[in-house]
């Protein structure tokens, strides 16, 4: 990544390494992979994360957090429903696009089955990702190294499967709307994820899975947020699936590095938080 910081990111915790772990270690290929980046303009480029269209027809998102979250707290509205150790690895959308969950590395544990929100035209609002600042996202270095223990008899097939998954894929660079001045502090970043069939019309409504009623946002967000400047980005993940990811700034302070928020017409907003100290 020529625009990255000097150095080589060879950590197992970078989102690219996490996204191909099962392919390299277990030989399980997937059709498509897309690396996504965020340019804050005022600081070095960051990882937003890696999207994968799995062999099981699920959509996976591996967030590019700066520190590995090791605790999960969940809320429905203002009622806490979960608080336990949990290494948050990725978000998984079911193949019917109707529900999703958060998952640990190698999918050894998962939490939640929030519903997606139908937006018409076969589109659904998957989730919203909030970051306290760009510092909560992992910086991109010039080189990212992925390593794994591959059996010699199958190493070449696994490497070719990885190259095929990324060949011709889109690697978008996200940014905020720079046509108007940025919000005055305090503010935090928010990205909403809409999924649908290839060619679905852009969604320009108000549903963005913002962390409304979140105990980690101060002051609390109003149901309608005025002067919301956003920038929409489209990704064609595969021949059948596209995503619209909208980047914006929300007013207030987020007291934890990362939250994941989902909403549906029948359930109050659900915050899925993974925000403890990184592992050494």
Instruction: Give the three-state DSSP class for 19.
Output: helix
Question: Average pLDDT for residues 24-47, to the nearest whole number?
Answer: 94
User: In the predicted model, is pLDDT for residue 58 greater than 50?
Assistant: yes
Q: Which residue has the higher pLDDT, 54 or 280?
A: 54
What is the pLDDT, as a whole number, of residue 160?
95
Is the full-model pTM beyond 0.95?
no
User: In the predicted model, is pLDDT for residue 279 greater than 50?
Assistant: no
Task: With cut-offs at 50, 70 and 90, classify the pLDDT of residue 169.
Answer: confident
User: In the predicted model, is pLDDT for residue 227 greater than 90?
Assistant: no
Q: Where are the alpha helices (DSSP H) in the chain?
A: 15-19, 21-26, 155-166
Q: Please state the domain extents for the chain.
A: 5-274
Residues 6+ apart with CB under 8 A from 126: 59, 91, 93, 100, 116, 193, 194, 195, 209, 262
What confidence tens digit (pLDDT) does each residue in 149-158 have?
899 999 999 9
Question: Average pLDDT for residues 222-229, to the nearest whole number?
Answer: 82
Task: With cut-offs at 50, 70 and 90, classify the pLDDT of residue 264.
Answer: low
Instruction: State the Rg of the chain over Cα.
Output: 18
Q: State how far the Cα of 38 lies from the Cα of 44, in Å rounded to an integer.
A: 9
Q: Are the C-beta atoms of 187 and 227 separated by less than 8 Å? A: no
CA quadruple 247, 252, 253, 256: dihedral, nearest 10: -60
Q: State percent of the chain over pLDDT 90.
A: 67
Residues 6+ apart with CB under 8 A from 6: 141, 142
Q: Which residue has the higher pLDDT, 218 or 275?
A: 218
User: Tokens 């992925």 identify what position?
Assistant: 146
Looking at every residue in the chain, the average pLDDT score rounds to 89
Task: With cut-offs at 50, 70 and 90, classify the pLDDT of residue 273.
Answer: low
Question: Average pLDDT for residues 183-205, to the nearest whole number?
Answer: 95
Question: Average pLDDT for residues 91-96, to the nearest whole number?
Answer: 95
What is the pLDDT, as a whole number, of residue 272?
52
Q: Are the C-beta atoms of 39 and 174 separated by less than 8 Å? A: yes
């Amino acid at each position: 990544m020529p625009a990255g910081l000097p150095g080589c990111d060879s950590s197992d915790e970078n989102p690219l390494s996490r996204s191909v772990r099962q392919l390299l270690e277990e030989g399980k290929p997937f059709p498509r992979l897309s690396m996504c980046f965020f340019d804050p303009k005022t600081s070095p480029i960051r990882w937003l994360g890696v999207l994968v269209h799995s062999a099981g027809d699920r959509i996976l998102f591996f967030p590019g957090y700066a520190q590995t979250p090791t605790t999960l707290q969940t809320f429905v509205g203002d009622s806490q429903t979960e608080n336990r150790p949990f290494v948050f690895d990725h978000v998984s959308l079911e193949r019917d696009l109707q529900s999703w969950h958060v998952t640990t590395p190698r999918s050894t544990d998962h939490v939640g089955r929030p519903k997606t929100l139908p937006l018409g035209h076969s589109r659904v609002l998957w989730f919203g990702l909030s970051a306290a600042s760009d510092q909560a996202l992992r910086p991109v270095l010039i080189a990212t190294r992925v390593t794994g223990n591959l059996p010699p008899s199958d190493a070449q097939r696994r490497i070719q499967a990885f190259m095929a998954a990324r060949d011709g894929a889109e690697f978008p660079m996200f940014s905020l709307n720079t046509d108007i001045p940025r919000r005055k502090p305090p503010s935090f970043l928010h990205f909403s994820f809409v999924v649908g069939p290839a060619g679905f019309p852009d969604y320009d409504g108000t549903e963005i899975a913002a962390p409304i009623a979140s105990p980690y946002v101060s002051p609390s967000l109003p149901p309608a947020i005025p002067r919301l400047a956003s920038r929409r980005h489209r990704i064609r993940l595969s021949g059948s699936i596209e995503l619209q990811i909208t980047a914006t700034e929300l007013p207030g302070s987020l007291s934890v590095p990362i939250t994941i928020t989902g909403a549906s017409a029948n359930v109050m907003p659900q915050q899925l938080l993974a925000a403890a100290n990184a592992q050494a």
